[in-house]
Chain A
Amino acid sequence: NAGVTQTPKFRILKIGQSMTLQCAQDMNHNYMYWYRQDPGMGLKLIYYSVGAGITDKGEVPNGYNVSRSTTEDFPLRLELAAPSQTSVYFCASIRGPSADTQYFGPGTRLTVL
């Protein structure tokens, strides 16, 4: 299994541009998550999904959108990028609430100038 994969690894955007961060998992996990991590800080939940077609807002959803058309993929869309969205973005998946491990992708480092 490849686990959780994220693309791209690095990206520089100009203010006002848009982009999609890709996330895929091959473990047939129903639960998927997007987090952002600012320097020296913890993880803030952006959006999450408990299954295909089901998404919900996390703690910091403003400026982002998600979709979950398949179990495997959970892309995160940034519209009108702002400097405040400069961060490292992690995608994660887990089998369910009683699962013993949440699997994380390697992260995408995004800079908005």
Chain B
Amino acid sequence: SQELEQSPQSLIVQEGKNLTINCTSSKTLYGLYWYKQKYGEGLIFLMMLQKGGEEKSHEKITAKLDEKKQQSSLHITASQPSHAGIYLCGAFANAGGTSYGKLTFGQGTILTVHP
């Protein structure tokens, strides 16, 4: 079955620094979703990537899906304390066949931003 591996597991940065979070799979990713979660709260949808080489941006957050569709990166430029939280990547197991519709997540990356 597909396993999504996120790295790093936790990250502490100073305000204003850039950072990158990675999401890697041993299998092709179909529909890669990035979410943010503030402690004790629900999930906030950030972006969805589907095509190899695709890149999307929202404010200071950019997400990319590599050409092989096995790794996605989330890049935050000039981090702010408001960026702190848990970042989660999720993806469908495959495009059809067994486990069709199965959407699993990585273990999350805890981001702390010091003012």
Contacts and interface: CB of A to CB of B under 8 A. Distances in A.
Contacts, number: 65
Given A97-B92, A104-B42, A43 B50 contact: no
A50 B101 contact: yes
Interface string B44-56: 0100101000000
Given A97-B95, A101-B45, A48 B103 contact: yes
A97 B42 contact: no
B7 interface: no
B52 to A, nearest CB: 15
Interface string B14-51: 00000000000000001101000000001101001010
Given A56-B99, A106-B42, A100 B48 contact: yes
B107 interface: yes
A88 to B, nearest CB: 9
Q: Chain B interface: which size bin?
A: 20 to 34
A48 B42 contact: no
Interface string A77-113: 0000000000000101010011111101111000000
B9 to A, nearest CB: 9
A98 B50 contact: yes
Contact of A98 (B31, B45, B108): B31
Nearest to B109: A42
Nearest to B10: A40
A58 B102 CA distance: 7
A101 to B, nearest CB: 5
Interface of B: 1, 6, 30-31, 33, 42-43, 45, 48, 50, 86, 88, 90, 92, 95, 99-108, 110
25 contacts: A31-B103, A40-B86, A40-B110, A42-B6, A42-B106, A42-B108, A43-B90, A43-B104, A44-B105, A45-B102, A48-B101, A48-B102, A50-B100, A50-B101, A58-B104, A59-B104, A90-B43, A92-B103, A97-B30, A97-B31, A97-B95, A97-B101, A98-B50, A102-B33, A104-B43
